């Protein structure tokens, strides 16, 4: 059925485990007539999947939480989502959650998967997708993405998130494949798994892919990868492309699931074609991007318009004649300098061409003269003078794109799904500046 690290689990293992759920007090009274919301933060991956499938089959909603979530945060999220129970770390630790009257009553038709939005723009919010819409997504995904029918999915991303859970695990099982789920954080373990798996399809983030390819034997190519979550930079793409036979990318959001798939990557911002069950609108070209808006059918046939808060445009592919979606940036991440739009990804791709910069994030802060200003944090093996970098930038980009503030750091902070919250980076940057100014004032006072 599936493997977690180096342990194989069969369909009989699943049935045996699920049979024991009926003896758990928090699950005994569950009926499809009165659906409930259950939050799950379990340490054992197979137990989590077994409980997820159990609740799905009984038409209840489930809210998966990453196993590293502290108990206070898990309880807070569970209450925000209107969950009745929280299973924390083990099935024997079932915590009853106080009722939340602000959450609408759940019906069987609306029971499904509850996800917290990433929080890259604004405060994270609960998003509940019905099992019906997820089944439609899986069916559409399989019908559209046939190139990987004979591959073995190796899921090296969290299966508490829809990317790993739905597209990695549920799609594989629906195809009759036995997915391999990797939770072992040792990259050499993943490397060995890929080398001993016939025709592996690796589901991972761009940063993880970069690390694996650098460890991969120089005389061999990785068979296939799927990337999602964040758009890889141009330098990372240029490094990976010659080392991988089949390179795919998918794009989605918590409200709609997987939206589009690129079945033959030739550039990192190309998100491919929309899945057959969806309609999409965006900008006309790279000079006129607009918000990506997705239209999907609801359970009752009504059209549901989903605003992704991402900027993009549709461009016709010369090879196929079909329109591909291209990503530009998050709406809230656009930096407007004296009325001119600056897209962080463009500046990052340029900065990463600097021979001594290893990683970078571009973000915005307020400016009383220009409205907003471009700022950047960068990682380098040696100390680099920000003034020297700024002068280098002036020869590689327009003056209004050049970061007015640059800060060297040891690492760029990323969330569990590999994304970067530019808002949080900006907040941290401002705090650092304020702390430095306060320290300077205190030193002058002592002098």
CATH number of the domain encompassing residue 12 = 3.40.50.980
CA distances from 189 to 153, 156, 194, 216 (A): 16, 11, 9, 12
**324 and 350 share a domain?**
no
**157 and 276 share a domain?**
yes
199 inside domain: yes
**215 and 319 share a domain?**
yes
Nearest to 128 by CA among 171, 80, 93: 80
* Enclosing domain of residue 417: 334-437
H or E segment and range at residue 297: strand 290-297
Q: Angle CA(351)–CA(353)–CA(358) in degrees, nearest 5?
A: 75
265 inside domain: yes
How is residue 242 written in tokens? 């010659």
**188 and 324 share a domain?**
yes
**310 and 417 share a domain?**
no
CATH number at residue 406: 3.30.300.30
Q: Angle CA(160)–CA(298)–CA(29) in degrees, nearest 5?
A: 55
**14 and 77 share a domain?**
yes
- Mapping DSSP to helix (H, G, I), strand (E, B) and coil, where does residue 304 land? strand
In the chain, the number of structural domains is 3
**6 and 69 share a domain?**
yes
Nearest to 161 by CA among 429, 430, 417: 417
393 inside domain: yes
CATH number at residue 194: 3.40.50.12780
**355 and 375 share a domain?**
yes
442 inside domain: no
239 inside domain: yes
Question: Last residue of some domain: 332, 361, 390?
Answer: 332
**240 and 378 share a domain?**
no
Question: Last residue of some domain: 281, 305, 332?
Answer: 332
Strands (E), 283-350: 290-297, 303-316, 323-330, 335-337, 340-342
Question: Last residue of some domain: 53, 81, 116?
Answer: 116
Rounded distance, CA 85 to CA 37, Å?
7
**196 and 323 share a domain?**
yes
pLDDT (tens place) for every residue of the chain, 447 residues total:
999 999 999 999 999 999 999 899 899 878 778 899 999 999 999 999 999 999 999 999 999 999 999 999 999 999 999 999 999 999 999 999 999 888 988 998 899 999 987 554 455 678 999 999 999 999 999 999 999 999 999 999 999 999 999 999 999 999 999 999 999 989 999 999 999 999 999 999 888 898 999 999 999 999 999 999 888 888 889 999 999 999 999 999 989 999 999 999 999 999 999 999 999 999 999 989 999 999 987 655 567 899 999 999 999 988 778 999 999 999 999 999 998 999 999 999 999 999 999 999 999 999 888 899 999 999 999 999 999 999 999 999 999 999 999 999 999 988 876 788 899 999 999 998 888 788 777 777 776
């Amino acid at each position: 059925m599936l493997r977690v690290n180096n342990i194989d689990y069969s369909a009989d293992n699943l049935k045996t485990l699920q049979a024991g759920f009926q003896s758990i007090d928090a699950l005994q009274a569950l009926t499809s007539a009165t659906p409930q919301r259950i939050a799950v933060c379990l340490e054992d991956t197979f137990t989590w999947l077994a409980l997820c499938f159990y609740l799905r089959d009984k038409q209840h909603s489930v809210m998966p939480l990453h196993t590293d979530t502290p108990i206070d945060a898990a309880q807070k999220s569970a209450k925000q989502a209107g969950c009745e129970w929280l299973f924390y770390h083990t099935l024997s630790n079932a915590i009853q959650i106080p009722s939340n009257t602000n959450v609408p009553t759940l019906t069987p038709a609306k029971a499904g998967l509850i996800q917290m939005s990433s929080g890259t723009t604004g405060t994270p919010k609960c998003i509940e997708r019905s099992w019906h819409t997820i089944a439609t997504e899986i069916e559409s995904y399989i019908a559209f993405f046939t190139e990987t029918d004979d591959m073995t999915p190796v899921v090296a991303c969290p299966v508490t998130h829809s990317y790993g859970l739905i597209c990695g695990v549920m799609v594989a099982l629906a195809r009759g494949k036995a997915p391999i789920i990797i939770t072992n954080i040792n990259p050499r373990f993943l490397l060995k798994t890929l080398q001993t798996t016939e025709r592996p399809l690796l589901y991972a983030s761009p940063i993880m892919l970069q690390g694996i390819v650098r460890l991969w034997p120089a005389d061999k190519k990785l068979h296939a990868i799927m990337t999602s979550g964040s758009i890889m930079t141009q330098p990372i793409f240029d490094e990976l492309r010659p080392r991988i036979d089949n390179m795919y990318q998918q794009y989605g959001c918590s409200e709609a699931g997987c939206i589009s798939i690129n079945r033959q990557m030739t550039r990192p911002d190309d998100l491919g074609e929309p899945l057959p069950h969806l309609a999409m609108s965006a900008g006309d070209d790279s000079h006129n991007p607009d918000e990506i808006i997705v239209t999907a059918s609801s359970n009752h046939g009504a059209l549901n318009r989903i605003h992704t808060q991402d900027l993009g445009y549709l461009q016709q592919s010369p090879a196929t004649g079909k329109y591909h979606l291209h990503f530009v940036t998050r709406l809230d991440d656009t930096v407007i300098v004296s009325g001119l739009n600056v897209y962080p990804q463009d500046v990052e791709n340029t900065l990463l061409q600097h021979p001594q910069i290893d990683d970078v994030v571009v973000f915005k802060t307020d400016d009383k003269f220009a409205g907003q200003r471009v700022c950047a944090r960068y990682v380098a093996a040696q100390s680099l003078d920000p003034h020297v970098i700024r002068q280098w930038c002036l020869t590689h980009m327009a003056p209004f794109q050049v970061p007015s503030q640059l800060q060297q750091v040891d690492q760029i902070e990323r969330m569990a799904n590999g994304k970067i919250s530019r808002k949080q980076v900006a907040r941290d940057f401002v705090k650092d500046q304020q702390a430095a100014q306060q320290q300077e004032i205190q030193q002058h006072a002592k002098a």
